[in-house]
């Protein structure tokens, strides 16, 4: 990437706040901006350790050419964690409100993991996106994926986690350092050597933030699944409302890999394959940026020549 400015010359981003309201409750969305140029929006994956920090390496790689916005989802990171029902409607409103406030024109968006559903759902309306990158996209939460569609059981579990004492205990069991390390080894990072004690300590501290368990429980139990079925998920790609690039990690879990391979085969998405699992945007940001910039610059070059048909 010698044609891009070295990332160590890019300024350290400062915390910014976007204030809005949801059902009469004031909320604050934390975000940061780095670089200059046309904007790109980065959406971290939803998870028990979701934070804009996981996108920081990628943001620095892109900031040599673009102005990069990265958010903390409501309920995670340094954004508000209100005592409300965490539902897809909340996250959809959150994303729409932020995009409308920040970007007067359609913007490039890069969404990791479960963020993909919210991006693709919005794309079906008046698309706020110029170009979409889905990094190891998922549509179904961890428990429904691993144990099947027992949604009523998961709703009960989500309510239990919201209770004092017993809920705090259940959340503690799901966020110990040992459990986090196991999860990273199983399906987040591909190289065990990258799962350092410092990384696990950082992730563990993220889970200790006050009222973190509510949004985390909603995600794990499938309560934040924007698509309710595989048919719904696939329908957002038939036809594609905007140009979409999908990044497939060679080490993704089997079920998640199967889902993205079906999309790659039956939809018109552009595909970029690289090493990594569900957390490849954090583990291999340099290689991911190379793929994204190459595709994006080719797409914009074709647009400048007034040829909307992109054939990679």
Distance CA 87, CA 69 (A): 24
Mean pLDDT across 84-108: 95
Contact 218, 50 (CB under 8 A): no
pLDDT 10s digits, 156-199: 777 877 778 787 888 888 899 999 999 999 999 999 999 999 99
> Is residue 242 predicted with pLDDT exceeding 50?
yes
pLDDT 10s digits, 247-270: 999 999 999 999 999 999 999 999
pLDDT 10s digits, 213-235: 899 999 999 899 999 899 999 99
The DSSP element (H or E) to which 181 belongs, if any, is helix 177-183
Measuring CA to CA, which residue among 182, 202, 177 is closest to residue 53? Answer: 202
pLDDT interval class at 144 (50, 70, 90):
confident
Provide the pLDDT for residue 187: 94
pLDDT interval class at 85 (50, 70, 90):
confident
Give the chain's mean pLDDT: 90
pLDDT interval class at 150 (50, 70, 90):
low
* More confident of the two residues 179 and 5: 179
Mean pLDDT across 74-101: 94
Tokens of 209: 């933030």
pLDDT interval class at 5 (50, 70, 90):
very low
pLDDT 10s digits, 17-56: 999 999 989 999 999 999 999 999 999 999 999 999 999 9
Percent of the chain with pLDDT over 90: 72
Distance CA 167, CA 157 (A): 9
H-helix segments, 236-276: 254-266
pLDDT interval class at 4 (50, 70, 90):
very low
pLDDT interval class at 69 (50, 70, 90):
very high
Provide the pLDDT for residue 165: 78
Distance CA 71, CA 53 (A): 9
Distances (CA, A) of 57 to 17, 83, 93: 21, 31, 27
Long-range contacts of 51-54 (CB under 8 A, 24+ apart): 51/76, 51/77, 51/206, 52/77, 53/77, 53/202, 53/206, 54/112, 54/279, 54/281, 54/282
* More confident of the two residues 146 and 86: 86
pLDDT interval class at 9 (50, 70, 90):
very low
Mean pLDDT across 289-308: 83
Tokens of 147: 């144990």
């Amino acid at each position: 990437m010698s044609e891009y400015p070295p990332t160590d010359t890019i300024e350290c981003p400062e915390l910014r706040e976007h204030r809005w309201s949801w059902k009469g409750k004031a909320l604050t969305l934390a975000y940061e901006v780095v670089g200059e140029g046309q904007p790109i929006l980065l959406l971290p994956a939803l998870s028990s350790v979701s934070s804009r920090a996981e996108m920081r390496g990628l943001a620095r790689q892109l900031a040599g050419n673009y102005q990069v916005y990265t958010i903390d989802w409501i309920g995670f990171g340094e954004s508000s964690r209100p005592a409300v029902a965490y539902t897809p409607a909340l996250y959809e409103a959150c994303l729409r409100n932020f995009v409308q406030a920040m970007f007067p024109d359609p913007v490039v968006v890069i969404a990791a993991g479960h963020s993909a559903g919210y991006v693709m759902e919005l794309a079906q309306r008046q698309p706020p996106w110029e170009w979409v990158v889905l990094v190891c996209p998922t549509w179904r939460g961890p428990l429904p994926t691993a144990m099947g569609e027992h949604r009523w059981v998961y709703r009960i579990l989500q309510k239990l986690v919201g209770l004092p004492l017993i809920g705090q205990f259940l959340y503690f069991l799901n966020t110990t350092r040992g459990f986090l390390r196991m999860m990273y080894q199983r399906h987040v990072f591909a190289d065990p050597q990258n799962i350092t004690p410092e990384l696990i300590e950082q992730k563990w501290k993220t889970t200790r933030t006050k009222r973190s368990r509510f949004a985390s429980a909603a995600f794990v139990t499938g309560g934040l699944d924007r698509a309710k079925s595989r048919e719904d998920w696939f329908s957002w790609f038939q036809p594609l409302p905007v140009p979409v690039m999908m990044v497939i990690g060679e080490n993704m879990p089997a079920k998640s890999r199967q889902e993205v391979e079906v999309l790659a085969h039956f939809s018109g998405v552009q595909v970029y394959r690289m090493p990594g699992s569900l957390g490849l945007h954090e583990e291999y940001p340099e290689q991911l940026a190379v793929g994204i910039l190459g595709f994006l610059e080719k797409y914009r070059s074709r647009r400048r020549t007034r040829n909307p048909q992109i054939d990679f």
